Amino acid sequence: MAAYDGVIDGLGLRDWCDAGKEDAPMSMAQLLAQSGGGETSNGPALPFPSLDVLHEACGRIGQTRDLTAGIEQGFLAVRPELKLVLDPLTQPLSWMLDGTLWLFQATPWWIMIPVLLLISWWVSRSASVTAFVASVLLFFGFIDHYEVAMQTLSIVFVCTGISILLGVPIGIGMSKSDRAQRMIVPILDLMQTMPTFVYLIPLIFLFSITESKIYGIAVIVYAIVPVIRLTDLGIRLVDRDVMEAADAFGLTAWQKLTRVQLPLALPNIMAGVNQTIMMSLAMVVIASMIAAPGLGSLVLQGIRTIDLGVGIIAGLGIVLLAVILDRVSKAALARVDNTRKEH
């Protein structure tokens, strides 16, 4: 006798339940017991009324397997329409990733390294930071990891750039509307707390594993959250007295945004950019599971082949890339702060 037969009978649902009774597939517990080679456990006298337990008493109630199968079937049902819409929208991302990857690989090291050093100097205006970047890039060359490091760097550049271009306007929109903030914040919470591997599941169903946009989308969705949050926070933290003074001078909404709010919020926005860079780099490693090139693919190779040396060296390379990107972005943030204080 099922645990909740009495409840079903007491509610007068026995005829309804029996009318839908049929030979259903085994429950999750039965499957686990079978795969373990043992008998299905009787469990407690009054088990929790889960779907599988209630299904034993009433065949009309679906099992947990029906729920998971329904989610998959629903996704597959809308897949053609989603793909029809998303394919043309995301194709430029593939072109950008492929083009930047080709550029970073095709450019000789004796051109690429000076260019990267000039960019580091222009952004940070720090000799020590620039020297550190140079030492890391030369180290990659000495250990024959320069090419894979450039692959990882190219992906981070593209995905971080797109995250900033999309995230800053969204953050500005959130700061202007409390209603928009209430709607967007739960979505950001979901994006930030969902396990990174889960991002890959729908993408594998939607796009071909050979398309570069599949890992580009995963990186952008994961990394865009900090720049949105901190842009919204930075603009909301602008002093009300300053905004009242701007109103007194007769500034338009656009002038207040570009001349007052964004300059004052720039330190927060730059902090968001720094976090976005770090999260992009972290997701690039996870995205190696769906054919993302670079140092992450070497880490995955080390795991698959139990090659300790390959995994550790590639992991060290990722750490060094993270450190130089963090140092450059923080130096840029300090420079912005100093400039703002001088004015």
pLDDT attached to residue 286: 86
pLDDT attached to residue 291: 84
pLDDT digits (tens, 9 = 90+) for 59-86: 788 888 888 888 889 988 999 999 899 9
pLDDT attached to residue 34: 57
pLDDT digits (tens, 9 = 90+) for 250-281: 899 999 999 999 989 988 998 999 999 999 99
pLDDT attached to residue 262: 92
**Chain-wide mean pLDDT for the chain?**
87
| Three state DSSP letters for the chain | CCCCHHHHHHCCCHHHHHHCCCCCCCCHHHHHHHHCCCCCCCCCCCCCCCHHHHHHHCCCCCCHHHHHHHHHHHHHHHHHHHHHHHHHHHHHHHHHHHHHHHHHHHCCHHHHHHHHHHHHHHHHCCHHHHHHHHHHHHHHHHCCCHHHHHHHHHHHHHHHHHHHHHHHHHHHHHHHCHHHHHHHHHHHHHHHHCCHHHHHHHHHHHCCCCCCHHHHHHHHHHHCHHHHHHHHHHHHCCCHHHHHHHHHCCCCHHHHHHHHHHHHHHHHHHHHHHHHHHHHHHHHHHHHHHCCCCHHHHHHHHHHCCCHHHHHHHHHHHHHHHHHHHHHHHHHHHHHHHHHHHC
pLDDT: is 329 or 336 the higher one? 329
What integer is the mean pLDDT of 191-204?
85
pLDDT digits (tens, 9 = 90+) for 28-55: 555 555 555 544 555 556 788 888 888 8
pTM comes to 0.85
Residue indicated by tokens 């050979």: 210
Alpha-carbon distances of 99 from 102, 104, 107, 244, rounded to whole Å: 5, 9, 12, 47
pLDDT digits (tens, 9 = 90+) for 229-252: 999 999 999 999 999 999 898 899
pLDDT digits (tens, 9 = 90+) for 96-109: 999 999 999 999 99
Ordered by where they begin, the domains of the chain are: 5-62 (no CATH), 79-342 (1.10.3720.10)
pLDDT grade for 222, boundaries at 50, 70 and 90: very high
pLDDT: is 254 or 335 the higher one? 254
